[in-house]
Structure 1
């Protein structure tokens, strides 16, 4: 795709939209964020964020440490509610419903918006139970045959089945770091979410495991919307359809990834991507 001209005054995109569109990507809306602000006590961590996240795409959140990427990610499934000092204003909307509404079922929300953390965190259970436990609790499966089928499908979708099919009743913690992270991804997709949030999912992994997870993200976006935080610019360029650049709690630029990395619209984004700071 031909690089778009550098963005200039008077041609501002519609609020929440990228400066240019990735023609190969789906443009159906998954999550709509408007005027989102967040405080930790008296300290404002997110400032007037506006962004549309598209279905069945990978959106990468980049920016220097402490700029609000992970805080924003946790807004999408209300993980910040677990922090007593947090106060949130603004709209985070899925299917026309504000996820922060008092009537929103947080458990149901987190089933629809799964999370994979920076450090693999398998449950202290067997590989099988890591996958089957949550679907059973959500009444997605009941009979043993249904559980077996779901466990196999989730592990296959996570690219792990052939490595663990003969040791399903061994502890999840017995796997290697890369395998544990894929187990956590399998656990997330087993409850049939719409969105998967990934907070630096490869930062603790070796290069081979990192490449495996990146390939997996490319396959999973055929089924799920993925939003990932990364400090690795090469990774963002490889896996993301869209990229949002955060700085000091604000979204400075949001663009399709090819244009962001070849012809960023802002000097700040250009400086960060080219390694002048960060």
Structure 2
């Protein structure tokens, strides 16, 4: 499989980047002096009961960039994503060790307000899941819950801005009171993105956001992601290698619960440092 990396600006290489590692040693980036850190993860391990799903995860995620998580099904990508907003807390018998920091704050600290955390870390799921409410109420629901807006004029302004930022306003501005579920699949996913950004999070997590969409809707979401990274840090899970090459500034390759390689996307796809990453990217397995 030939992977084409679209012409786009990419972050400079870290001065600490290694070439071919020793066998079994993951390749990761150190903090890049040209980009500010958004999320810092150190020695992260997670178990579902007795089964270990994440093993010694170390990664720095940079502000206002798109980071793609790639790897075979069941390798820990979505589990890692849920560590960033503590959604794994909702799963019985989960045990976690290690550090997840966001802007210097320990995400897993006992004093961390989980509701406030999930305001800062929005999430868009694989299958569009609008609330059983109007388009308008889908967008304004969370800002109301967090007491971000109260006056009707402010709510109207917020809804329009979020829908514009999600590239949906022109398509729905005359039917805001219709159910969100009445929209097409691609429109529903953009509504979910509008809902996520309405509370102005710092980070947006996307778990295979286009896997259930047609190619045209997929292209629309990808273009939208490229615009949204001007405002937000985006971390996305994808099984589509061409998509990772098109949209991501950085890419992390997961395998059996470990990060095998993490680099700027152009370098990883053009010259992967590990044989496992090369085999996966080129379609030899996965």
TM-score range for the pair, normalised by the shorter chain length: over 0.9
Q: Distance in 2 between matches of 1:105 and 1:15?
A: 33
Q: Distance in 2 between matches of 1:98 and 1:76?
A: 10
**How many residues were matched structurally?**
272
Cα deviation per residue 1:9-54 (whole Å; 9 max; x = unaligned)?
59xx9995269x6x9xx61000000000000000000000000000
- Note if 1:45 corresponds to 2:53: yes
Q: Structure 2 residue aligned with 1:92, among 82, 97, 100?
A: 100
Cα deviation per residue 1:116-167 (whole Å; 9 max; x = unaligned)?
0000000000000000111011011010000000000000000000000000
Q: Give the conservation status (yes or no) of the 8 Å contact 2:20–2:274.
A: no
Q: Distance in 2 between matches of 1:31 and 1:101?
A: 15
Q: Which residue in the other structure is 1:7 paired with?
A: 19
Q: Distance in 2 between matches of 1:115 and 1:75?
A: 12
Q: Distance in 2 between matches of 1:96 and 1:261?
A: 31
Q: Distance in 2 between matches of 1:196 and 1:16?
A: 22
Q: Distance in 2 between matches of 1:143 and 1:264?
A: 53
Q: Give the 3-state SS of the residue equivalent to 1:209 in structure 2.
A: helix
Q: Which residue in the other structure is 1:156 paired with?
A: 164
Q: Distance in 1 between matches of 2:21 and 2:240?
A: 30
Q: Give the 3-state SS of the residue equivalent to 2:45 in structure 1.
A: strand
Q: Distance in 2 between matches of 1:9 and 1:63?
A: 19
Runs (4+) of structure 1 moved beyond 6 Å?
Answer: 1-6
Q: Which residue in the other structure is 2:250 paired with?
A: 242
Q: Give the conservation status (yes or no) of the 8 Å contact 1:3–1:263.
A: no
Q: Structure 2 residue aligned with 1:276, among 275, 281, 284?
A: 284
Q: Distance in 1 between matches of 2:97 and 2:13?
A: 36
Q: Give the 3-state SS of the residue equivalent to 2:190 in structure 1.
A: helix
Taking structure 2 as the reference length, the TM-score comes to: 0.91
- Note if 1:101 corresponds to 2:109: yes
Q: Distance in 2 between matches of 1:266 and 1:106?
A: 37
- Note if 1:144 corresponds to 2:152: yes
Structure 2 unpaired stretches of 5+: 1-9
Q: Structure 1 residue aligned with 2:216, among 208, 217, 225?
A: 208
Q: Distance in 2 between matches of 1:161 and 1:190?
A: 13
Q: Structure 2 residue aligned with 1:167, among 175, 190, 203?
A: 175
Q: Give the 3-state SS of the residue equivalent to 1:141 in structure 2.
A: coil
| Distance apart, 1:6 and its partner CA | 7.2
Change (3 A) 1:233 1:201: same
Taking structure 1 as the reference length, the TM-score comes to: 0.94
Q: Give the conservation status (yes or no) of the 8 Å contact 1:15–1:51.
A: no
